[in-house]
Chains A and B, each alone.
Chain A
Amino acid sequence: MDGFATTGFFPMYATGVAEYLGLHPIYFDETNSGGSSFEVLVEHAAYAVEAGAAEVVLVTYGSVQLSQMGRRLGTGGGGGGGFAPGPAIYDALWGNTLVGNYAMAARRHMHEFGTTPEQLAAVAVSMRRHAASNPQAQERDPITVEDVVTSRLVADPLHKLDCCVISDGGGACVVTTEERAADLPRAPVYVLGAAHATTHHLNLSAMPSLTVTPAAQCGPVAFARAGITPADVDVAQLYDSFTITVVLTVEDLGFCAKGEGGAFVADGGLEVGGRLPTNTDGGGLSACHPGMRGMFLIVEAVRQLRGEAGATQVADARIAVAHGTGGMLSTGATLVLGGEVP
């Protein structure tokens, strides 16, 4: 291993983790784009390997957010005006919370397209159904649409069960050359295409439209680089910090038209056997969300492409998409992964 990538919330983070682990890599990367970071780190690692800058890059993530938060559990940070670097102050004076930002996107989506709380709730219900067969999932008891829409409102129109869990967790993957991978005992998965984009930093007031995320920019680019269309995707791992995040993402990646995300995710559309099997591990809504969930999207996509996903295995899965969303819908990063030699 000669390359190392990870990220977290202090400067020179990867350097610090490398020191702790006793690593002296010749390639390192600590790009932090929030929840989408690990899709970006894998994209960068693929370029580095392709260019010969490194042969074997370890991409890793660990967080003890649940253990560390203790009594501060609640709105996923933000809200006190405490973390407001530079211009972020303009949106930080109003008592808005992280949940509140996504709630405003949900409210706007409902206004423009008639999306209903029940359609949003369907996302949480489907993720929970997948989580039921994941022994590592944080929440596994079945829930109904009624359970979601009658759970406590955190920031209208988002209820408690529209919000992801808060977890401890970690994961890793290795990016290397096709030649090196051929020597390994496990079947390789190929990075077929990747791209990332940003619309704003922490100021939601700077997002051009609350119903169009960076996925609309990077998704089509990643698909074109992979030479696929949305119809070619067998299984998706889409960042689900909140139910609305998934509705916006399926639209912006082109799995349905803008405004039709509510109907697309309803009635089991995201479940195995449905329109687009999504978050087959239970997602951030039920399985695990330690702050930056992007790594788990990759882990589950690889399991699907290797046929190792257990009860939620999608039959004959050949192409998987992992799409991370970071910040306040600020960043998006799409990875198209394939289980066959491209």
Chain B
Amino acid sequence: MTDRPPVADERPPKPRPAPAPDADSAPYWTAAHEGRLVIQHCTSCGNRQLYPRDRCLVCRGPVEWVEASGRGTVYSFTVIRQNYSRPFRDWIPYVVALVDLEEGPRVMTNIVGCEPDLVRIGMAVRARFEAVSDEAGIALFSPEG
């Protein structure tokens, strides 16, 4: 298998993909659009969860939305050095990570605001937000401090 040469691309930059909010997820994406990270809390057993679901994963009880601190630690990560899909290929190298929130739930995200080679498992990170459409935002994470 030979490596392909870069393909000349005159098209305008492609934006980051945006989620289409639905009944389960709208509060999550809307909160991030407003600069808040929210998680689901089970009013019956106290379990906290993401991604958003209609019911508690532990006891099937009802869930409510609560605000999270935005603090977490890196559970694992990778530095993506090959991706031919736009817009990501323009960002290479970039960090994709799984972050364990202080409150428990684990999310996939990008670690930004730091050289990719400096990211470590266990690193303390804090959420920052980016609007990706008129109604949805996403939580990215940067090193704490």
- A residues in contact with B7, CB < 8 Å: 71
Measured between beta carbons, the chain B residues less than 8 angstroms from A82 are: 85
Within 8 A of A (CB), among B105-137: 106-110, 121-122, 132
Q: Which of B34-42, B63-71, B86-94 contacts A (4 or more CB under 8 A)?
A: B86-94
Shortest CB-to-CB span from A259 to chain B, Å, is 15
Per the CB 8 Å criterion, the residue count for chain B at the interface is 40
In the bound complex, do residue B76 and residue A95 qualify as a contact, i.e. CB atoms below 8 Å apart?
no
Is A96 a contact partner of B84 (Cβ separation < 8 A)?
no
Known contacts A96-B96, A153-B79, A203-B51: A90-B4 contact under CB 8 Å: no
Q: By the criterion CB–CB under 8 Å, are A71 and B4 in contact?
A: yes
- Bound state CA distance, A100 and B91, in angstroms? 15
The 4 closest A-B pairs by CB, nearest first: A80-B85, A95-B88, A81-B17, A103-B78
B76 and A105: CB pair below 8 A? yes
* Interface locus among A40-48, A127-135, A184-192, A204-212: A204-212
Highest count of chain B CB atoms <10 Å: which of A87, A90, A111, A165: A90
Cα A153 to Cα B83 with chains together (Å): 12
Report how far A331 CA is from B17 CA in the complex, Å. 27
Are B84 and A75 interface neighbours, CB within 8 A? yes
**Residues of A close to B88: CB separation below 8 A:** 79-80, 95
Main secondary structure of the interface of B (DSSP, over half): loop
Residues of the A chain whose Cβ atoms lie less than 8 Å from the Cβ of B1? 73, 165-166
A206:B51 contact, CB within 8 angstroms: yes
Identify the closest chain A residue to B121 (Cβ). Answer: A111
Tell me, yes or no, whether B60 is within 8 Å of chain A by CB: no
Option from A93, A154, A166, A205 in Cβ contact (under 8 Å) with B17? A93
What chain A residues lie within 8 Å of B4 (beta carbons)? Answer: 71, 73-74
A interface residues, Cβ below 8 angstroms from B: 71-75, 79-82, 87, 89-97, 99-100, 103-105, 107-108, 111, 152-158, 165-166, 203-206, 210
Given A95-B85, A204-B98, 7 extra CB contacts under 8 A: A79-B80, A79-B84, A94-B108, A95-B94, A152-B81, A153-B79, A210-B75
- Which residues of B in the span 1-55 have a Cβ within 8 Å of any Cβ on A? 1, 3-4, 7, 16-20, 25, 50-51
Asked if residues B121 and A95 are in contact (CB atoms below 8 Å), the reply is no
* Highest count of chain A CB atoms <10 Å: which of B20, B88, B91, B96: B96
Cβ contact of A205, chosen from B16, B80, B85, B107, cutoff 8 A: B107
B56 CB–A CB distance under 8 Å: no
B residues near A95, Cβ cutoff 8 Å: 80, 83, 85, 87-88, 91, 94, 96, 110
User: Are A154 and B85 closer than 8 Å at their CB atoms?
Assistant: no
Pick the most buried of A91, A97, A111: most chain B CB atoms within 10 A of its CB: A97
Q: With a CB–CB cut-off of 8 A, which chain B residues contact A89? A: 19-20, 25
Find out whether the CB atom of B82 lies under 8 angstroms from the CB atom of A74: yes
In the assembled complex, 24 residue pairs joining A and B whose CB atoms fall closer than 8 Å, in A order, are A71-B4, A74-B4, A75-B83, A80-B83, A80-B85, A89-B20, A92-B17, A93-B17, A93-B18, A95-B88, A96-B96, A100-B80, A100-B96, A108-B75, A111-B121, A152-B3, A152-B81, A155-B78, A156-B78, A203-B51, A205-B50, A205-B98, A205-B106, A210-B76
Select which of A72, A90, A111, A154 is within 8 A of B76 by beta carbon: A111
CB distance from B123 to the nearest CB of A (A): 12
Question: Which of chain A's residues have a CB closer than 8 A to the CB of B121?
Answer: 107-108, 111
Q: Which residues of B contact A203 (CB under 8 A)?
A: 51, 108
